[in-house]
Structures are given as structure tokens and as C-alpha cells.
Amino acid sequence: MAKIPEHKIEQIKDYNDIVEVISSYIQLKKKGQNYWAKCPFHDEKTASFSVSPKKQIFHCFGCGVGGNVINFVMDYEKITFIEAVKELAERVNVKIDEFSVSEKDTSDTTRLYTLNEFAANLYHNSLFSSKGKIPLEYLKERGLLKQTIEKFKVGYAPDEWNFFNNKYDKKKFGLDVIKASGLLAESKEKIYDRFRNRIIFPIYNLKDKPIAFGGRTLKKNEKIGKYINTPETPIYHKSYVLYGLNITKDIIRKSKEVLIVEGYMDFLQLFQNGFTNCVACSGTAFTTHHGKIILRYAETAILIYDGDDAGQKATMRAGYILTSQKVNCKILVLNKEDDPDSFLQEHGAEKFQKKIDKSISFLSFLKKHYKFDKLNATQKSKIVTDIIDEIRQFSDQIYREMIIKDIAEEFNLEYESLLKQLRKKTFKSHDNSPQIHIREKNFKNQSEAAQYQLIQLLLINNSKTRKAGLKYITPDIFSHEFLSEVVAKVLGIVNNNDDILPEQIPEKIHEEKIRRFVVRLVMELDSIIEPEKTLVACLKQIEKQMIQDQYDDLSKQIQNIKNDDKANLELIKQQVKLMKDKKELEKIYTLDILDE
């Protein structure tokens, strides 16, 4: 990884006001000291996502995400730390070259991009070389225009084991990066080209950098896959990437409507026919992440998958996902033998537009797909149960019930009984976002609440409290497993740097779950009014609970050995001592501990 000097990162953070940066992604509303919004990382009705201009951090009280301005850009754009820092640097015109000094220092990630860029150019040029005659002819036959091929840098990997393997600079990229790229395959210490005799479709991220490749074979051999894709790499996570979006995103945002197809060829055909508000989800099934990305750009999505059974099944899956993300989902149904590519070539753009205009709602698609009207009562009831089971997975209750209302209308059923069925099975929590289940009300007892506050007291920038805290707070007095993990981390940081500001602490923590949690604690610090008194009270509370637990333990033992008076007496004696200890606590824990 590249090392960006600490002071550079600080500078970039200083220049980028968190409120300004986040405002460029979502709408914030000022309320009190902080800004608020509906969280972009989880579904919610009311705003629990807050940004503190003072502390320059954000936190969602609903799903627990949080951090500084760099973390936000990383989380929102799904990019790496280095990428986020670079993006923020560009935003405020800090020169990137200043910290990517020598080639040696260039990060693996950057080298991966460069290697992919090199491969994309190599394959693209090979399509127009003597080796590319047959594939180029093939693409022309399939109706692709030269300008489309060039715009999307379609290429060709010749039928050779070492075409790419012999061309790149082995020294410059290094074996780790080369292996990580997925461009080569490996067997018994032999490395060779993954893509051979295939048309190559480079897949770009939103910054127009090639991150992966899809390859379509030219062989009519049943044994090899028609399409292969780059496997997951450090820069390619297929469930987050939509093909073509780097080029079409602004068009989609403007039209608020997106056409979703399955294949590269479908996409290119649509695009060159003027249907430029489209994306393809290639090389993988449609995922929830895809759905979230779509929601960022469009209100309505029209799924245009192949007309065959597999295509219709995939439509159903994607339809549920889009609907769950509150995207208005419509379906363009093609005949069994058609796909978007073949339809456009055969019937032209005008007819295709008419088809788009006639696309149907997802629920009518389901009804049609199941041939609902022709089913008997038992079959109907089974289908409806299946649909409701899907709807039950949606995270927002009001939304679930709204969909049920639509189902009642579409399928001509009674709303009330559907609603009953929806509510019948116990709800599972389906929020996929990382949850930290520590809310005050969730604490098992007062001691756990005190443990929570003790961590805050270590965070607070009050030297007296922090000093006493460092002396008295240790992870082993924490009964709550997660909190003890958190406090161990915080102690480690504060111990080495006892005048560190609260908002600087989270960024020193690498474990995401802990970091996010600490951000939340920092956000809430303002609510602590008398830190010194609180420290004393919390320490006392925790020890009280420990004594109480021992006492209860003894009581249980006493119950179990009713007939042995001697043993019993011993236990009771111990209990009496514990009661005394408990009283002593009042004398031990006073404000004096802060002056020691």
C-alpha cells in the first residue's frame, strides 16, 4: 500500500469540510448543533444520520455507520482509503503527485489499475490487428458499430496461451499485483492467459478506470463457458459493479429512469440505438448492492432480460430486489426466443420504444408469469404465500404494507387477510447493515450502562477525568464482552497520547465495528455534564454489580445445600462480608480519587 504521509492526510481532511462534502451527496438539514438526514446506508423513515460540523464526524444512530470525511467517501462510493483520500485531494486542489512520489511507492491498487488499463488497450488494439479479423467480422455481423466498439473499448484476446503474459512489464508490476489482477490463470506453477480467443469487454468503475474484464468465447464448443469474467480482485467486487454505468450515469440521473439488461451485447446494442439510459449487470446475478446503486440514480427501473425461462427467473429475482429498495420496478417482457439485442436488430428502435412504453409493473409481471388467473384455489394460495414471504423480507414495515395493498388490488384479493398473513409469521430482522445492538435500553443492568459511560469518560478531553480514568478503568472490570473490547482499544490509544482530542480517536482504530461504535460515543459526548462525578458513580456502580453477582451466586449455593448447616453458615458469613464490602464502596469511591 502506498504511504500517504500523515500530515498530508490531515491537511486534506482539514480542507474538506465534512458538511460540505456530505451535502454534495445527500441533503442535510440543520437541527441544533448537528446536521441530519435520512441515512444513505440503510432504509429508514426518520432521519437518524447525523453530521457534526464541530467534530467533523458523521454517525448513523440507526445502523451504526460513522467516521470522518474520508470514511464517508469510502463507504458511500465503495472505494479504498487511498482512492478516497485522492478524491478529496482533487476536490480541494491539493496535488496528488506530491505524495505518489516514485514508482516504488505506487500502491498495489494503483498498479492494478495501470495493469488493467494496459490490458484493455492491448486487447482493444489486437481487435484491429491482423489477429482480430474474425472477431471483428463477428462483431460487425452482430450489428455493432465501430464507434460503439471504440467508445466501450471492446477488444480481442487472441487464441494464445501467452499473448498477454508476454507483453506486460513484469518488473514494473510485480508478481503479487499480476496474480491479483485475475488476468492470468495458474496451474502447477505455470501462469498463462485467462482470456483466450475471446471478445473482451472491459468493465469500468465510476471513475472510468478498467477494473475487470468479461470475455465471450468465439468457439462453438459446449464445454467451455460462453462468458468468463475476471474473478473478484482487490479492485473488483462484482456485486457492486454495473457495466456501462460510468458512461450512462449522468443520462440516467437526468431521465430518472434506467433500463437494465443482462449482457454486454444487449447493453451495447441499446446504447447505439439511442437507449443510452441503460446498464448491464454482467457476470453475476442482480444483487441488493446493485439495487442500492440504481436507487442513487433512478426512480424507475425497467428490467429487460432474455425472454427464455432463465431470463424470466432472473427478472423475478431482480424485481424483488429493486422493489425492496423502493425503486419503481417495471418489466419489459420479450418473446421466449428474443433477447434485447436480437429484438433491436430485428425490429428496430421504434418498435423497441413502443415495447418500453408498454412495460408492465412488477406485480402484473408476477401475475402474468404465474398465469395466476388460470390457477385453482390451492395453487393461487401457494403463489400468494410465496410472494408474501418475499415481501416480508423488506425492511420497512409501512412500505411492506403498502406493497400488500398493491398485491390485493393486482390479484383481486382482500387486503385485510393478506395483511394478516404478512403479520402472521414472526418478523426477522432483515437489516443487512452492521448493527451494534447497544442502546441504553438494551443494557442488561446498570453496570453495563456504566461501562458504556466509562468509555465516554476516557474519550472526553478533560485531563483530570482522563487521568483518573486511565488509572481506574481496565478491560477486566467490564462484563460486557464488546464494550471490554472497545475499552481495551481506547485505553491503548489514550495511554500513548493523553491530550488527544475525542474526534481524533476513531481514526486510530482499524476494526471497523469498533471504530464506528467509538464515533457514536464521541457524537454523544455533549450529553455528559459532570464528568468527574460521573466517573466516580460509574466505577462504584460496576463494583457494586460485581459484589451483587457474587452475593447472588452464594444464595444459589445456599439453596442447593439445605441440609448441611455448617457449610451453609460459611456461605452466609461470606455474604455478610460482601454486604460490608458493598457499603465500603461509598467511602472508596469519592471525588478524592481524582486528586490522587
List of residues contacting Zn ion (CB under 5 A) = 39, 41-42, 60, 62-63
CB of 167 vs Zn ion, minimal distance in Å? 46
CB of 433 vs Zn ion, minimal distance in Å? 6
Neighbours of 297 (CB within 10 A): 22
Contact 12, 92 (CB under 8 A): yes
Largest CA distance in the chain: 100
CB of 301 vs Zn ion, minimal distance in Å? 23
> Which one, 42 or 367, has the nearer CB to Zn ion?
42
> Which one, 86 or 292, has the nearer CB to Zn ion?
292
Contacts of 551 (CB under 8 A, 6+ apart): 575, 578, 579
CB of 448 vs Zn ion, minimal distance in Å? 23
CB of 83 vs Zn ion, minimal distance in Å? 22
> Which one, 39 or 261, has the nearer CB to Zn ion?
39
Contact 404, 384 (CB under 8 A): no
CB of 49 vs Zn ion, minimal distance in Å? 6
Neighbours of 574 (CB within 10 A): 16
Instruction: Give the C-alpha separation, 568 to 574, whole Å.
Output: 10
CB of 46 vs Zn ion, minimal distance in Å? 11
CB of 36 vs Zn ion, minimal distance in Å? 12
Judge residue 488's burial from the number of C-beta atoms within 10 Å of its C-beta, 0-12 exposed, 13-18 middle, 19 or more buried: middle
> Which one, 120 or 523, has the nearer CB to Zn ion?
523
* Sign of CA pseudo-dihedral 447, 450, 454, 456: positive
> Which one, 41 or 72, has the nearer CB to Zn ion?
41
Instruction: Give the C-alpha separation, 594 to 40, whole Å.
Output: 43
> Which one, 42 or 249, has the nearer CB to Zn ion?
42
Instruction: Give the C-alpha separation, 219 to 154, whole Å.
Output: 18
174: left (phi over 0), alpha (psi -120 to 50) or beta: left
Neighbours of 237 (CB within 10 A): 15
> Which one, 390 or 431, has the nearer CB to Zn ion?
431
Judge residue 80's burial from the number of C-beta atoms within 10 Å of its C-beta, 0-12 exposed, 13-18 middle, 19 or more buried: middle
- Alpha helices, DSSP H only, in 273-339? 288-297, 309-324
> Which one, 37 or 259, has the nearer CB to Zn ion?
37
CB of 416 vs Zn ion, minimal distance in Å? 33
> Which one, 117 or 396, has the nearer CB to Zn ion?
396
* 192 backbone dihedrals φ, ψ, rounded to 5°: -145, 170
